[in-house]
Structure 1
Amino acid sequence: MRGWLSSWRFLFSRRWILFFLTVIVLAYGTWWLGEWQFGRLHDRRESNAIIEANEHQDPVPVADVLAPGDPVAKTEEYTVVEATGTYDVADSLLVRYRTRDGEPGADVVVPLVTGDGTVLVVDRGWVKTDDPRFDPAQDAPAPPEGEVTITAWVRADGEGDSTNVSDGGMRAISSTAVGKAIDKTVYGGFVELLSEDPAPADTLEPPEAPDLGEGPHFFYGLQWWFFGVLALGGFSYLAYDERKHGPRGERHRPAPAPDDAPVA
């Protein structure tokens, strides 16, 4: 027993202790990254469940879900709401760089002024265009004139510099930025149009269905854990190899075989 233990004494050398600590840090890091990916998978599944529960419900009045200045709650994403008002076509905006099937285009945002004057930011749909001079108020299919009743999906505001409104457009929708640009009181969040009554003469491409996939998080999590197991397995193999054969730099190398060929 004592001899068996002595054969592993090299593990207490400075070199092996540092090696072991490095492997432990690496294994912990891969475990944490795996847990992070599985946490994201859990969040994605939770979000998908909310969307699936909301997107096929009967419409509810927009004021039951949204309020001026209030952000959209996570549980309200893709709730179907109904609103009645008049489109303010003059304040139409573009959401630029929205490609579909490789085709360049933009989303057309038109404010809907409801009965009490509060504006609902409506993404009416997608139009194919690569013209930087495209004017949504003049060039996009026109919404119905007069009073219109819409149904739409509730969406949370975008964040960051991409929401800044400049030259009549932005790269992501924020009700706060749109409200400032058109100088009107707006509901928090925005909506993606599903239907209009009366129907317009010409329509835009409807919003894309929500992505209910789970993404690569499960496989990424397994991959990180595999790297951790690989690190521990590699350490164990190298330790066994040194115990059996000694340090690699001190191992006896057999002499080269003599050359039997006669020397001229």
Structure 2
Amino acid sequence: MYRFLLNRRWLALLAFVIVFGAVCFRLGLWQIHQLDRRLDRNEVITDHFSTAPVDLDSAAPVGTTIDADSAWTRVTMRGTYDAASAASVKFTSRDGAPGVDVVVPLRLDDGTAVLVNRGWMETANSNARPDLPAPPNGEVTVRGWLRQDNNAGGDAVRIFDGQIRAIDSDGFSEFVPYELRDGFVNAQEESPESTPAAALEAEPEPELGQGPHFFYALQWWFFGMIGITGYIWFAISEARDRRRARTGPRQDSEREVASPVSA
């Protein structure tokens, strides 16, 4: 009754369903892996935020690469802002409002520097560089948390007309005459503050929720089940139609033989 499943059309459909189901299953697993990564990240952030800030040289000595484990470490450092090398990260937003992040290198006593994201300011969404608030003069103490480089690469991390699209110490280092440490720092406090105080919003603490990954995984697996269930349903429907096509004429003939002949 199901011999028709061996013809070319149904074999092609079966192959498609198998591939579709495998892809959906794999994408569901990928979402579960993303969920695991997010939970690990949340644990790292919670651990770092539950401890007091440490000196930058203790958390990330010169030459250290900021990785997933050292990111979000709360640090404190003291140095002098290089206001002439300030840049804005364009096309950022907060609560739907357009703006820029203000990034300024902080030169340290050992001659190296670290990029500091001093905060976000609302601006018109355009390619023109806005007027950036000046950082504090002289030595300043900065407290914040470490972040990894964006690693976007290409033009996204190169400065054009005082603007960049992603913060990356390697890209930024092409435009300053001193060594930049890996990663950057999201500033939360500056002492002394700018005079007058700059209208910059500090980076908010990251969300620690699970995100949509689990439900996305369920969606992909559901799509895969739809494909398999649909194939089975169509196969049963086809078999039923074929059975009716074979048995229908025979039943009609039997009914004609069994009926009385009119005089």
Report the TM-score when normalising by structure 1: 0.83
Question: Could you tell me how far 1:21 is from its partner in structure 2?
Answer: 2.3
Aligned counterpart, 1:43: 37
Q: Is 1:118–1:186's contact at 8 Å kept on the other side of the alignment?
A: yes
Aligned counterpart, 1:226: 222
Aligned mates of 2:209, 2:186 — CA distance in 1? 20
Q: Is 1:66–1:189's contact at 8 Å kept on the other side of the alignment?
A: no
Which residues of structure 2 form unaligned runs of 5+? Answer: 250-263
Change in Cα spacing, 1:245 to 1:193, as seen in structure 2 (3 Å) is same
Q: Is 1:242–1:248's contact at 8 Å kept on the other side of the alignment?
A: no
What is the Cα-based RMSD across aligned positions, in Å? 2.3
1:247-258 aligned within 5 A: none
Q: Is 1:121–1:189's contact at 8 Å kept on the other side of the alignment?
A: yes
Deviation sequence 1:119-168 (CA, Å, 0-9, x none) = 011111112223724243xxx1x332222211111011112231111111
Which residues of structure 1 form unaligned runs of 5+? Answer: 1-6, 254-264
Aligned mates of 2:141, 2:17 — CA distance in 1? 63
Q: Residue 202 of structure 2 is aligned with which of 202, 206, 209?
A: 206
Q: Residue 154 of structure 1 is aligned with which of 134, 146, 151?
A: 146
Q: Is 1:68–1:185's contact at 8 Å kept on the other side of the alignment?
A: no
The alignment of Structure 1 onto Structure 2 pairs a total of residues equal to 243
Percent identity at matched positions? 38
Aligned mates of 1:249, 1:19 — CA distance in 2? 23
Corresponding residue SS for 2:32: helix
Aligned counterpart, 2:188: 194
Corresponding residue SS for 1:148: strand
Aligned mates of 2:6, 2:34 — CA distance in 1? 40
Corresponding residue SS for 1:19: helix
Report the TM-score when normalising by structure 2: 0.84
Change in Cα spacing, 1:128 to 1:11, as seen in structure 2 (3 Å) is closer
Aligned counterpart, 1:101: 95
1:165-176 aligned within 5 A: 165-176=159-170
Aligned mates of 2:118, 2:88 — CA distance in 1? 10
Aligned counterpart, 1:258: none
Aligned counterpart, 2:257: none
Aligned counterpart, 1:217: 213
